[in-house]
Every structure is written in structure tokens, then in C-alpha cells.
Amino acid sequence: MLTGFILFLRNEAIGVYNNEEILNNFINGCLQNNFFNKDDIKIKKYNINSINCLNIENKNIPEKNLENEKNLENEKNLENLKKELIESKEYKKLMQMKIDTKHEINELKKQKIKLEEDKESYEYDLKVYKKLKNEKEKIENFEIPEIFTLKYNIYKKLEESNELNFNVFKTEWDKIKPLNNYNLFTTNTYENLFTNSNNKEDINIEIDI
């Protein structure tokens, strides 16, 4: 004889099933998601094409998963703690410190790159200085190109005082740079070093890079 099942929620029929396993799966899903409590439902078993209908105890219905409920509660509490933390003054202060630190690191990286570029320029300028100095010793009335005069004088001064190195040069150069609106030159600055110079027909300087 074929049987079926009627599901009641608070004495109101909400479903009819011909398979008890499917019924229990549905109830279990509803209980896990807190759609209703176990005590709110009733199940009646009936024989198809008959008036026989029996109440079924809810003994086969799975209990709520207490561990799952506990995990959900813990997750909710954790989210609340995170929210409180983010809104706290201490957290905001920490985030600002993180931003400031990152900014400082980026600035230090920029300074490092700039320092390396200045060192390359210094080494190249030093070669230019030595070449010009050599020409000045060989050629009477030799004039240092105007674009390099300031640097030439600094290199010469430091060489005579036995202080010719990058750090000392940079210190001396930084003293006059703001006054003359100069920057440390890059290597290609001297491509036309002797353009329009009185010396360009008299000398031929090759600089090894």
C-alpha cells in the first residue's frame, strides 16, 4: 500500500511528500538555517486512497547542529570585534603609521636612486675635469667652457687640498647649486660641451665613459 507524508508547521500543512528521506532533508535544511524549530512542526503519515492518517513522532528529524550554530555565533562575534577594532582610535593611528612608514620608505628609495645618479655624474665630471686640466696645462690661454667652470673650480680646489671625493664634492656643490640654479649634470650634458667655445678649433677632447 502506498503511503505519503504531510508536513505541518504550527498546525498548518505546508508540504506533502511521498518519500520520507526527502522530507527529512527538507526539514533538516530548514532547522540548520533557523527557519523554524523542531517543536513547531508535525508530520502525519497517510495511506493513499484511504482515510487512515497517523501522527508521526519527530524522532527521525535531525536535531539542530549545535556545533554549526556555535561556529556561526563565533563568526558573528568575530565580525563585531573586527568592526570595533577598525573604528577604534588605536587602529586608525596604526594605519596612519603604516601609511607614513610606506611613504618614508618610498622617499628613501627615491633618495637612493638620486644618490646613485649623482655618483655616476660625479665620476663622469671628474673625467671631464682631468681632461680639461690636461688641456689647460698644454694650451696657453686655454679657457674652461662656461658650462663647466663652477665644477672645475670645485674639483681643482678639492684636488689641491687632497679632499677630492664624492661626499666632499657634493657638500661643496650643494652650497652653490641653489644660488646658480644648477643640477648635477648627466653624462649627455657634455655632448656639446665646446659648442660656441673659443677652444673648439684648438682642442679635441675624447672622454672615456
Lowest mean pLDDT among 46-55, 151-160, 177-186: 177-186
Q: What is the pLDDT of residues 21-56, one digit of tens each?
A: 888 888 888 888 888 888 888 888 877 766 666 555
pLDDT of residue 191 exceeding 60, the answer is no
Distances 48 to 23, 45, 139, 181 between C-alpha atoms, Å: 17, 10, 124, 102
Q: What is the pLDDT of residues 74-110, one digit of tens each?
A: 777 778 777 777 778 787 888 888 898 889 999 999 9
The share of the chain scoring above pLDDT 90, in percent, equals 29
Nearest CA to 41 out of 22, 52, 26, 53 is that of 26
Distances 4 to 17, 20, 26, 56 between C-alpha atoms, Å: 6, 8, 15, 12
The verdict on pTM exceeding 0.95 is no
pLDDT at 130: 94
Average pLDDT, the chain: 77
Hey, what's the cell of 46? 497517510
R_g (Cα) of the chain, nearest Å = 44
pLDDT of residue 198 exceeding 80, the answer is no
What is the length of the chain? Answer: 209
Q: Rounded to an integer, what distance in angstroms lies between the CA atom of residue 133 and that of residue 195?
A: 18
Q: Rounded to an integer, what distance in angstroms lies between the CA atom of residue 195 and that of residue 39?
A: 100
pLDDT at 50: 67
pLDDT of residue 140 exceeding 70, the answer is yes
Name the pLDDT band for 14 (thresholds 50, 70, 90). confident
Name the pLDDT band for 59 (thresholds 50, 70, 90). very low
Hey, what's the cell of 30? 530548514
* SS3 readout for the chain: CCEEEEEEECCEEEEEECCHHHHHHHHHHHHHCCCCCHHHEEEEEEECCCCCEEEECHHHCCCCCHHHHHHHHHHHHHHHHHHHHHHCHHHHHHHHHHHHHHHHHHHHHHHHHHHHHHHHHHHHHHHHHHHHHHHHHHCCCCCCCHHHHHHHHHHHHHHHCCCCCHHHHHHHHHHHHHHHCCCCCCHHHHCCCCCCCCCCCCCCCCCCC
